[in-house]
Amino acid sequence: MKLSIVLISFLLALGLGLYTSQSQPSSQPSPQPSPQSSPPPSVLHQTYDLPGAVVHLIKIPQHEQYTLRPMVADGLMTVEEFAQKTSVQPIAVINAGFFDPVNQQTTSHIRINGQVQADPRKNTRLVDNPDLNRYLPKILNRSEFRQYQCGTQVKYAITSHQHPIPKDCKLNYSLGAGPQLLPQLTLQAEAFTDSVDGQVIRDAIGSRQPNARSAIGLTQSGDLLWVMVEQQSLDKPGLSLPELADFLKQQGATQALNLDGGGSSALVYQGKTYPGRPGSAGESAVRPVKSVCVLQEQQTP
């Protein structure tokens, strides 16, 4: 009885056109959509209005589409001039290593493709300075940001200048500055500070004072963080190095390196320049520097 009712219902529905015949499987394979690679995650620029400073954060995803590289000037150049020298407009440019503004020579090591591009040992105002003689071994072994090529994998590290290159890896570049901010501050180990009987007798970069700052950080997931702190006014004087380390830690950084700061701090993002300090009337706010780090997106053919 049930079978008869179902059969009658089917025939009625067919007569009314409620059922359509399903297509028969073809003997020819159905065309497959052409594979398309998913777009890379975006580089993000965020601005934090903190009680004592305005902080710019650039989050750079770990992706082969994005390339970082240092650039070194023969003399000194602004971050804007560095950006204009690149063949492809960069996503961002940030100031990098230390230098002597008097003789325009580096006080930080920089190597690119295994070749020395900036050598502080050639800076006579540094190595022949009697006040710095006792600190030179530490100064010449300050920390640096490195990129390695390990087989097919690109890796980043923050380590001291004399630290050996890992086995089976090639050094693409290294960019010296210092001190390390994370996992811990290495101020005295890198001769930025010195103390006697608990009293600070040397603080070359005013580490405990608020100031304009620049830094680079690495997260556990392999992403990169660039930070530039503005010193806008007496009400917004910037950050100390311990405060900068705390900010980077809150953003997920597990390793971080301080870059040159103060008047050198500056950032270019998507063609707009953010100076670390406001300029005086009629003067540019951006100070020429010796080196920068450049972020670019690889061009697809």
185-197: pLDDT as tens digits? 999 999 999 999 9
Q: Is the predicted pLDDT of residue 4 greater than 90, yes or no?
A: no
Are 215 and 175 spatial neighbours (Cβ–Cβ below 8 Å)?
no
21 in any annotated domain: no
Task: Tell me if 23 is assigned to some domain.
Answer: no
Count of CA atoms in the C-beta half-sphere (13 A) of 154: 15
Domain ranges, residue 177: 40-297
Q: Residues 145-164: pLDDT tens digits?
A: 999 999 999 999 999 999 99
Between CA 21 and CA 38 the distance in angstroms is: 37
Contact between residue 247 and residue 253 where contact means Cβ atoms under 8 Å apart: no
What's the chain's average pLDDT?
Answer: 88
Q: Is residue 74 part of a domain?
A: yes
* Count of domains for the chain: 1
Residue 9 falls inside a structural domain: no
Q: pTM of the full predicted structure? A: 0.86
Q: What is the pLDDT of residue 300?
A: 65
Please state, in angstroms and as integers, the Cα–Cα distance from residue 49 to each residue in 57, 213, 214, 215, 243, following that order. 11, 15, 16, 17, 14
Q: Say if 235 falls within a structural domain.
A: yes
